[in-house]
Amino acid sequence: MLIELTGRTALVTGSTQGIGLAIATTLADAGARVAVNGRAGDTVASVIAALREEHADRDLVAAPGDVTDVAGADAVLAATGDIDILVNNLGIFGAMPALDITDDDWRRYFDVNVLAAVRLIRSALPGMKERGWGRVLNIASDSAVVIPAEMIHYGMSKTALLAVSRGFAKDAAGTGVTVNSVLAGPTHTGGVEDFVYELVDRSLPWDEAQREFMRLHRPQSLLQRLIEPEEIANMVAYLSSPLASATTGAAVRVDGGYIDSIVP
């Protein structure tokens, strides 16, 4: 199965680290021109330099800016140009007792995790529809379905992304543009190792430590280990490609079996 994205331009928000960086790298390796996004211009530049050092022929463009802000989003869009593949990866999360979540907290999570994605879709989708081809992918989470008691505001925002994806897929019906969300499960990203070692024996090697963490704290996972960012990126690359032309309006799972459901 050959994933070929040469001639396509992709914007991946929050792509200087973690899942976003893995997605940007995978799309670039499939031939796409990829706009790397982060709030700080120097960070974006250093990430691009590192990616080009690994493979000099990667087609990368710097698109720094805070996409949660109208002016920042406009700057990112201007730096990127016409978008064929939009990956709304940027998101925030954090634990908080349910009754301590303030109105401002609820608004902030909605603004960052939902409204920023909506704003970019609203800007990119008309051009995709006019050209007759496009891919919009919203990176959601198992928390959209299995709402975590310790961060229901985060779960709410990811549930909202599923509705956003389905709704815009209907708007793009019959145009050659697909809109989907990706339900990512517990993933090995920056800071997660420290979090794991706060909960399990620090003397354990990493492979054993993460499996112990999953056994004790995420027992519903069928994978029984953390997902690597590249595994999320592989699904995104497929959904971004012409091979996924019949998949739209869907919530596609890369959750390691975490969500206890036989329905996607």
pLDDT reported for residue 62: 98
Dist. CA 124–CA 44, nearest whole Å? 22
**How does pLDDT run across 225-261, given as a tens digit for each residue?**
999 999 999 999 999 999 999 999 999 999 999 999 9
CATH class, range 9-186+228-249: alpha beta
- Residues marked active site are found at 154
Q: Show Cβ contacts of residue 58 under 8 Å, excluding neighbours closer than 6 positions.
A: 25, 28, 29, 34, 51, 52
Let me know if 125 is exposed, middle or buried by CB neighbors in 10 A (0-12, 13-18, 19+): buried
Is 90 within 8 Å of 116 (Cβ atoms)? yes
Which stretches of the chain are DSSP H helices? Answer: 18-29, 41-54, 70-80, 103-110, 116-131, 152-171, 192-199, 206-217, 229-239
Where in the chain is CATH 3.40.50.720? 9-186+228-249
Q: Average of pLDDT values for 60-81?
A: 98
Phi, psi of 175 (to 5 degrees): -100, -10
pTM reported for the whole predicted model:
0.96
**How does pLDDT run across 177-228, given as a tens digit for each residue?**
999 999 999 999 888 888 899 889 999 999 999 999 999 988 999 999 999 9
Q: Average of pLDDT values for 19-39?
A: 98
Q: Average of pLDDT values for 154-175?
A: 98
Dist. CA 215–CA 129, nearest whole Å? 45
